[in-house]
Chain A
Amino acid sequence: MPTIQITGGRVIDPSRDLDATGDVWIRDGKIAPDGGGEPADTVVDARGLIVAPGLIDVHVHLREPGQEEDETIATGAAAALAGGVTTVACMPNTLPPIDTQAAAEFVVLQGQRARQANVYPVGCVSKGREGKEMATLGQLVAGGAVAFTDDGAPVSNAGLMRRALEYSKMFNLVIMQHCQVMELTDGGVMNEGFESTRLGLGGMPAAAEDIMVARDIRLAEITGGRLHVQHISTARAVELVREGKKRGIRVTAEACPHHFSLTDDRLRTFDSNFKMNPPLRTAEDVAAVIEGLKDDTIEILCTDHAPHAREKKMRELDHAPFGIVGLETLLPITVTHLIEPGHLTWPQAIRKLTINAANLLNLPRKGTLRPGADADVTVIDPALAWTVEAARLRSKSKNTPYDGWRVRGRAHTVIVGGEIRYALGGADDVA
């Protein structure tokens, strides 16, 4: 395997609190301490660029098996690379859902076949994602699952959620919860409030999220299990997680770019690319999410990448599915909405995209540039200004709310397992 020297870049490796100009060496698919006296086979000139551990997205929907018209593991993992993401964790709400060892192994296999970003399955909490009986969590782990969730829907049954938090302790894996009290969001397509009232659209109150977060933090407390709050979007939910952490409860949280860059008044256009679940909230909620990111209440940035084919998404709002693609806009929206306004420093943002995500999924060789770690590296051009064009996204689906946005920051070179798999402007860069 050719050796690679990434030279002259600003190396940011939050796992070692490192932020310094220097070189990163790669040999045999691993990060090497140095070149061992030999010149590298390949040299990547990273002067003026940021060299970071490969970004990890703990929350994507790659739709395979079952909805390959929206995305496949191959197209989704390629979109990940174009966004600088070297590892993704796939949600199990596929058709059929990932609730058995065989299903998890299929996701792993398809990821290996694709040879794009690393692909890890997240298994279901319940059999068939029906919210009734616990899935075979142990067998899912044997199949490669790195966490459990019924995402797309919450585990509504408090008894099941309690048992899952307890049982999953034997694997020390996290239960990721889509926090939503379904009885409060029936018929809703957007955040409940002034904007939904004005537009006559069905509302989903913030309290639906808050109440579930409160319940599950308490369940995590009595069980000692690991709770991860997915796509946190409300001010009160951020506050609840903050309180829970102060009390020493094992709770973590993630936030997605749309929840810190967009508000519910966007729905005035009736554009279904602003319909997602949890919905876009108010400016106060956005401010609270940013505050939570700043004080590390929210330790993870991710996308909830949710591709939907055009014919499904370009519909009346009541009929259009929830969700937007995000893998290729994660980095630039983080730059323009968190780093450039001064909310987060580069090392803080990269921490939330690398080592914190690796720790969440128990991936000890990911999210770090420590010698011996898997050679997943993202070289970022932090200053590159570009325009998001939906039609040019690599994802099979183009349902982005950021079409036409002028942004800054983009993946320059992306290395997975010691192999350069993406280079901006390279032959495989359709953008």
Chain B
Amino acid sequence: MTAEPSDPAPFAWTRKHLLGLEELSREEITAILDTAEAFSEVSNRSRKKVPALQGRIVFNLFFENSTRTRTSFSLAAKRLSADVQDFSANVSSISKGETFIDTAKNIEAMGCDVMVVRHPTPGAPHLLSQHVQSSIINAGDGAHEHPTQGLLDLMTIRRAKGSFEGLTVALLGDIAHSRVARSNIWGLLKLGAKVILCGPPTLVPRSMERLGCEVAYHLDEILPRCDVVNVLRIQFERQQRGLFPSVGEYSQFYMMTRERVRKAKDDLLILAPGPINRGVELTPEVADGDHSAILDQVHNGLAVRMAVLYFLSGKNPDAE
């Protein structure tokens, strides 16, 4: 049995951290996706493990609730034979003093090679990367970036569509507060796709156009042009803050329904980073229908996270 991906990309990875897709080059993104493809096969084996990260320690440092992302990172690390430890902190308990950095330093003192960090404040993983020796993977920092989610979306699209050139991808919903949106935007633009941001004006700032995206308010007008729709989750507290009048009204304008899918391209691909609110962003029959790639995303997420851990830890020249 081969221990390593059979066809490692002829590419020298030099980064110590993965903080966002904004700073990655097209080549770096492609290298991760190619390696993820190689790792994807591991998940289909009966013995789902390779020894690449044997003896390495991966800490999941989550300062915000998450089950799916943390589980995915844990499994990815375990499949690479790393030791994994979870650390979840209640944000309110770390809201005093330097405890966020102190917490990370304490964890590092126990021995740590990679920290997977989720935090409600943009830039928190960046701050941490200046204070610890470990490699940092940003697993979501506020509304800023969620690079592995972006990468798994890219992988899912590439698998379904082959390439990004000429592709039109709509990100739908709460763009303003979405780290998934930002990571998608950077990744998709670098790989050559056209990106449409669609949602109510209170959730889709016009200034997003300056990133090179189209901004649209009416889904029905843009849907026929789309090859991919990435349906972002609506957080109900946005409605409480008055950013849209009601969930019902939101659904009327932006829910992916069977009727809407019927008017779209035959090969429309529907992604949703989840967790999804059925009956709000998507109807159940669309979520479970032929166009939906939601479960593929979860599968690919594991492969992408294995690739990232592999690059940052297993083959990181700085770490040797």
Give residues in A with beta carbon < 8 Å to B: 193-194, 197-201, 269-270, 311-312, 314-319
CB interface residues, B 86-126, toward A, < 8 Å: 95, 97-98, 100-101, 119-124, 126
Complexed CA–CA distance, A193 and B205 (Å)? 9
- Taking the closest CB of chain B, its distance from the CB of A218, in whole angstroms, is 28
The answer to whether B127 touches A316 (Cβ under 8 A) is: yes
A270 to B: closest C-beta gap in Å: 3
Query: Which residue of the partner chain A has the closest CB to B63?
Result: A316
Q: Residue-by-residue, is B238-263 near A (CB-CB < 8 Å gives 1, otherwise 0)?
A: 00000000000000000000000000
A200 CA to B120 CA, complexed, in Å: 11
Q: Which of A198, A311, A316, A319 has the most CB of B within 10 A?
A: A316
Set B120, B182, B208: member contacting A318, Cβ < 8 A: B120
Cβ contact within 8 Å between A318 and B142: yes
* Minimum distance in angstroms from B249 CB to a CB of chain A: 23
| B143–A194 touching, CB < 8 Å | no
Interface centre among A311, A312, A315, A317 (most CB of B within 10 A): A315
In contact, B100 and A201 (Cβ under 8 angstroms): no
Among A193, A199, A314, which residue has its beta carbon within 8 angstroms of that of B122? Answer: A199
B:148-207 near A, CB below 8 Å:
176-177, 179, 182, 205, 207
Instruction: Give, as a whole number of angstroms, the nearest-CB distance from A321 to chain B.
Output: 13
Q: What is the interface size of chain B, counting residues whose CB is below 8 A from a CB of the partner?
A: 27
Considering the chains assembled together, what is the distance between the CA atoms of A58 and B145 in angstroms? Answer: 41
- Choice from A193, A198, A316 contacting B211 with Cβ under 8 Å: A198
Q: Give bound CA distance, A314 to B97, whole Å.
A: 9
Partner of A197, one of B119, B126, B142, B207: B207
Contacts of A319 in B (CB 8 A): 95, 121
Please name all residues of chain A whose beta carbon is closer than 8 Å to the beta carbon of B233 when the two chains form the complex.
none
Task: Write the residues of chain B forming the contact surface with A, with a CB cutoff of 8 angstroms.
Answer: 95, 97-98, 100-101, 119-124, 126-127, 141-145, 176-177, 179, 182, 205, 207-208, 210-211
- Across the interface, do A315 and B98 meet the contact criterion of CB distance under 8 Å? yes
CB closest chain-B residue, reference A318: B121
A201 touches B205 (CB 8 A): no
Partner of B121, one of A269, A314, A317: A317
Interfacial chain B residues near A199, Cβ < 8 Å: 122-123, 144
| Chain A: CB-nearest residue to B125 | A270
Residues of A within 8 A of B123 (CB): 199, 201, 270, 316-317
The closest CB in chain A to the CB of B145 belongs to A200
Say yes or no: B120 contacts A201, CB within 8 Å: no
Q: With a CB–CB cut-off of 8 A, which chain B residues contact A314?
A: 98, 101, 127
Say yes or no: B100 contacts A200, CB within 8 Å: no
| Interface-central residue, A194, A198, A314, by most chain B CB under 10 Å | A198
In the complex, what residues of A have CB within 8 A of residue B120's CB?
Answer: 318
Chain A neighbourhood of B205, CB < 8 A: 197
Q: What 6 A-B pairs are tightest by C-beta distance, nearest first?
A: A270-B123, A200-B143, A200-B144, A316-B121, A318-B121, A194-B207
In the assembled complex, 30 residue pairs joining A and B whose CB atoms fall closer than 8 Å, in A order, are A194-B207, A197-B176, A197-B205, A197-B207, A198-B182, A199-B122, A199-B123, A199-B144, A200-B142, A200-B143, A200-B144, A200-B182, A201-B122, A201-B142, A269-B126, A270-B122, A311-B98, A314-B98, A314-B101, A314-B127, A315-B98, A315-B100, A315-B127, A316-B121, A316-B124, A316-B127, A317-B122, A317-B124, A319-B95, A319-B121
Determine the distance from Cα of A311 to Cα of B119 in the docked complex, in whole angstroms: 19
